């Protein structure tokens, strides 16, 4: 079998080809990295109007049964039991050493019905992990023949409410079952661009019709993975495999905010998840490294993998995501740095090819998040 | 003046006296997407054919500009430092990269003419 036959496609693949997209392999899928508009304009269109993203490569998983919430809570450092109906929460699968196996969104569709969206590159291992750890306590169902569309940007709400008036009252991190033009959709007000917006889960067979309906609005343009990455980077959002990995705890990845109080030491339902001791140690005693924003001086992009040094040439860390921020028209980066240097606020440099680029530690995000909280 | 093309998608235009102007083709700039940064060599630098002499950065990635000929760099288009979008907008004109004084003018004979290049990119 040739390698090409192993490449998967989303239900909207033909639409991307018809739209003239530049396709690249990503997490085993042939995905649109950009359309004829180009990354910069797609990025800016999302910040100014509404961008439509095909994120059907991501994994969609349902957990069912009376113990579903309790079961999921036993493998994440997050409060799932008290997650209200039709609300979303950001969660992480941790391992024994406190590292992160994936990050995910959890939606409570009914107290015996949870909906998870996980990263494309981790979805098979996530499913295996769920089956192995909680497969006896609840039903773990990997959803096949589904699609996921993201409509993101300041006009996303206007565009979607024109065809689905019932979504107009939704606030950030809530969910609703909606019928749009006869198509059953699970709509969440969420996304990964820093903008207001929605993610829409639906049957694969209906996805082309909904995509066409959304694109028929002149405010909407297809946006590819290239701009998705620059948008999330500007919004300071972590990406699995970059800021998050199995070697670093959530604290080391500056995701302490995602660790629910009730699951920490002294909390009502403390511990009882993989890596609890390490993670609590990092919360209480601090971790050796942290993830921070970096502003490179000048115009040369500082990209993933670039080493960071101090003035004396000591290694201080490494860039985890870097590139160019079209909205702010300058290079931006996120890096994992040794904590002692962050506190010292030392003069730091990124090594790019044979050059040393001065970088300044800055707070994230680079572009203000624009969520609708009611 | 004659214009030649390299397999690395550069155009090389002769200006007489063994001087050439070098840029990237429209095909190349389309492949790269929106450019955000161009790192140019220094005037006076020597380059040999096949050597990386400049870095072209798009939103997504960095690519090298490979010297299509050998010689001395006599001028660089410093406008690109602040306006890399010139390459996208006018790759064969205002978006030129460097001027080179050839040390081995016969290298030009090994480059493609326009019709050969057009067939090359259609492959």
How large is the average pLDDT for residues A317-342?
95
Cross-chain residue pair B60–A323, CB shorter than 8 Å:
yes
Domains, chain A:
3-59+145-234 (3.30.1360.120), 288-374 (2.40.30.110)
Q: A354 — contact with chain B (CB < 8 Å)?
A: no
Reported as a single tens digit per residue, the pLDDT across A341-372 is 988 878 999 999 879 999 999 999 999 999 99
How large is the average pLDDT for residues A179-185?
97
A196: closest CA among A150, A149, A238, A157? A157
Q: A240 — contact with chain B (CB < 8 Å)?
A: no
Site from A33, A300, A306, A352 to mutate, B interface, most B CB atoms within 10 angstroms: A300
Confidence check on the interface: ipTM exceeds 0.85, yes or no: no
* β-pair type (A29-34, A22-26): antiparallel
266-305 in chain A: CB under 8 A from chain B: 299-301, 303
> In chain A, pLDDT over 90 holds for what percent of residues?
95
Q: B50 — contact with chain A (CB < 8 Å)?
A: no
B27: closest CA among B82, B92, B85? B92
Query: CA of A232: how far to CAs of A313, A327, A331, B92, B104, in Å?
Result: 31, 12, 14, 34, 48
How large is the average pLDDT for residues A11-21?
98
Cross-chain residue pair B59–A39, CB shorter than 8 Å:
yes
Mean pLDDT over each residue of chain A, to the nearest integer = 96
How large is the average pLDDT for residues A311-317?
95
Cα–Cα distance measured from residue A224 to residue A43, given in angstroms and rounded to the nearest whole number:
9
The yes-or-no verdict on residue A1 having pLDDT over 50 is no
Token pair for residue A326? 């079209």
Q: B81 — contact with chain A (CB < 8 Å)?
A: yes
Give per-residue burial for A84-120: e unless 16+ CB within 10 Å, then b: eebebbbbbbbbeebbbbbbbbbbbbeeebbbbbbbb
* β-pair type (A289-296, A330-338): antiparallel
pLDDT given at position B107 = 95
Smallest Cα distance from A183 to chain B, Å: 35
Reported as a single tens digit per residue, the pLDDT across B3-51 is 999 999 999 999 999 999 999 999 999 888 889 999 999 999 999 999 9
The yes-or-no verdict on residue A52 having pLDDT over 50 is yes
Reported as a single tens digit per residue, the pLDDT across A274-292 is 999 999 999 999 999 999 9
pLDDT given at position A344 = 83
pLDDT given at position B1 = 59
What's the CATH code, domain B3-106? 2.40.50.100
Reported as a single tens digit per residue, the pLDDT across A226-258 is 999 999 999 999 999 999 999 999 999 999 999
Which long-range contacts does A271-276 make (Cβ < 8 Å, 24+ apart)?
Answer: A272/A73, A272/A74, A273/A73, A273/A74, A273/A75, A273/A76, A273/A77, A273/A94, A274/A75, A274/A94, A274/A95, A274/A96, A274/A98, A275/A77, A275/A94, A275/A95, A275/A96, A275/A97, A275/A98, A275/A99, A275/A249, A276/A77, A276/A98
pLDDT given at position B61 = 85
pTM above 0.90?
A: yes
Chain B residues touching A299 at Cβ < 8 A: 36-37, 81-82
């Amino acid at each position: 079998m040739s390698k090409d036959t192993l490449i998967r496609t989303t239900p909207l693949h033909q639409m991307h080809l018809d739209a003239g997209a530049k396709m690249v392999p990503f997490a085993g899928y042939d995905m649109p990295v950009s359309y004829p508009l180009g990354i910069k304009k797609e990025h800016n269109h999302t910040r100014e109007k509404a961008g439509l993203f095909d994120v059907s490569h991501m994994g969609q998983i349902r957990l069912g049964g009376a113990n579903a919430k309790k079961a999921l809570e036993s493998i994440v450092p997050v409060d799932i039991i008290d997650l209200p109906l039709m609300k979303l929460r950001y969660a992480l699968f941790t391992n024994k050493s406190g590292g992160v196996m994936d990050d995910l969104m959890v939606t409570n569709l009914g107290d015996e019905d949870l909906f998870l969206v996980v990263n494309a590159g981790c979805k098979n291992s996530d499913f295996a992990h769920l089956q192995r750890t909680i497969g006896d306590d609840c039903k773990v169902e990997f959803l096949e023949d589904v699609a996921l569309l993201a409509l993101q940007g300041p006009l996303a709400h206007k565009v979607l409410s024109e065809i689905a008036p019932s979504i107009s009252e939704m606030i950030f991190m809530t969910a609703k079952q909606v019928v749009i033009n006869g198509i059953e959709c699970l709509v969440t007000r969420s996304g990964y661009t820093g903008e207001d917006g929605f993610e829409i889960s639906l049957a694969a067979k209906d996805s082309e019709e909904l995509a066409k309906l959304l694109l028929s609005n002149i405010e909407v343009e297809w946006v590819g993975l290239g701009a998705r990455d620059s948008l999330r980077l500007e919004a300071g959002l972590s990406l699995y495999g970059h800021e998050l990995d199995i070697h670093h705890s959530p604290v080391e990845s500056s995701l302490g905010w995602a660790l629910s109080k009730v699951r920490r030491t002294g909390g009502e339902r403390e511990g009882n998840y993989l890596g609890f001791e390490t993670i609590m140690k990092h919360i209480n005693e601090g971790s050796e490294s942290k993830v921070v924003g970096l502003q490179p001086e000048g115009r040369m992009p500082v990209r993933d993998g670039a080493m960071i040094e101090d003035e004396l040439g000591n290694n201080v860390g490494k860039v985890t995501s870097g590139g160019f921020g079209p909205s702010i028209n300058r290079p931006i980066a996120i890096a994992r740095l040794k904590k002692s240097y962050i506190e010292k606020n030392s003069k730091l440099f990124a090594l790019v090819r044979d050059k040393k680029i001065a970088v300044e530690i800055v707070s994230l995000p680079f572009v203000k998040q624009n969520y609708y909280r009611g | 003046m004659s214009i030649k093309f390299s397999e690395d998608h550069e155009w090389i235009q002769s200006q007489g006296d063994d001087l050439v102007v070098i840029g990237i083709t429209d095909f190349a700039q389309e492949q790269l997407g929106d450019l955000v940064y161009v790192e140019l060599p220094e005037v006076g630098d020597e380059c040999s054919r096949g050597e990386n002499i400049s870095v072209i950065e798009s939103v997504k990635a960095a690519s090298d500009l490979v010297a299509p000929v050998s010689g001395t760099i006599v001028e660089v288009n410093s406008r690109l430092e602040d306006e890399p979008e010139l390459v996208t907008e006018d790759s064969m004109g205002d978006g030129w990269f460097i001027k080179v004084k050839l040390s081995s003018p016969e290298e030009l004979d090994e480059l493609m003419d326009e019709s050969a290049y057009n067939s090359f990119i259609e492959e």
